[in-house]
């Protein structure tokens, strides 16, 4: 066994002569797998010769080395077969991100629609000066959220013919999000 391990070590070190590879088809096959086909060709061996030699070296008496022998004791026969599972497990998907997007889209749509008709005018109770909800300016200006206490934060409602670009954007985002979420379901 030490002779085989010495030849294997020489093969791995690259010090093995071509004559040894020619006489030992298993080492030739290992050399081909480790170093590639070009290695055998450089050493003067053809790939076909090593394959033929390998197939000739594996005779019927060597065949038992390649087959796993399972003991024939009957100790495993007293085990009862198990029953296949009968209940199919359903995977419940919780689309938490989808619900969050749905809630945000619904909130934007609802707030945008309510604001168009002046429904958010109760936020302007502390407004002073002209242009406040008490003066008939009941639609919140989304672009002027910081100015709710002055007239710059308010505009006439859609009932009076006034519609702003931020209102349109909020409605498109809100209803567009709802449409996309409903289409995915």
Does the structure show a pLDDT above 80 at 54? no
pLDDT tens digit string along 121-162? Answer: 888 888 888 888 888 888 888 888 888 888 888 888 888 888
Task: Write down the mean pLDDT value for the chain.
Answer: 77
Does the structure show a pLDDT above 90 at 174? yes
Confidence of residue 114 (pLDDT cuts 50, 70, 90): very high
Question: What is the pLDDT, as a whole number, of residue 179?
Answer: 92
Distance CA 123, CA 140 (A): 9
Question: What is the pLDDT, as a whole number, of residue 100?
Answer: 87
Question: What is the pLDDT, as a whole number, of residue 12?
Answer: 80
Q: Under the phi-then-psi rule, with left for phi > 0, alpha for psi from -120 to 50, and beta for the rest, what region is 10? A: alpha
Residues in contact with 22: Cβ distance below 8 Å, sequence separation at least 6, in sequence order: 28, 45, 49, 53
Phi first, then psi, for residue 149 (nearest 5°) are -90, 0
- Please state whether the predicted TM-score (pTM) of the whole model is above 0.75: no
Question: What is the pLDDT, as a whole number, of residue 72?
Answer: 63
Does the structure show a pLDDT above 60 at 2? yes
């Amino acid at each position: 066994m030490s002779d085989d391990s010495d030849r294997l070590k020489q093969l791995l070190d690259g010090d093995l002569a071509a004559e040894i590879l020619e006489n030992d088809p298993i080492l030739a096959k290992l050399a081909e797998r480790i170093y590639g086909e070009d290695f055998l060709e450089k050493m003067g061996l053809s790939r076909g010769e090593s394959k033929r030699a390998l197939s000739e070296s594996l005779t019927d008496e060597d065949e038992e080395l390649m087959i796993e022998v399972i003991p024939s004791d009957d100790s495993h026969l007293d085990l009862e077969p198990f029953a296949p599972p009968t209940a199919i497990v359903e995977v419940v998907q919780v689309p938490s991100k989808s619900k969050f997007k749905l809630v945000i889209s619904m909130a934007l749509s609802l707030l945008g629609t309510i604001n168009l008709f002046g429904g958010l005018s109760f936020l302007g109770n502390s407004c002073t000066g002209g242009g406040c909800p008490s003066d008939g300016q009941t639609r919140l200006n989304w672009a002027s959220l910081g100015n709710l206490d002055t007239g710059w934060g308010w505009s006439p409602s859609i009932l009076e013919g006034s519609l702003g670009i931020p209102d349109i954007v909020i409605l498109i985002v809100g209803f567009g999000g709802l449409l996309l979420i409903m289409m995915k379901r």
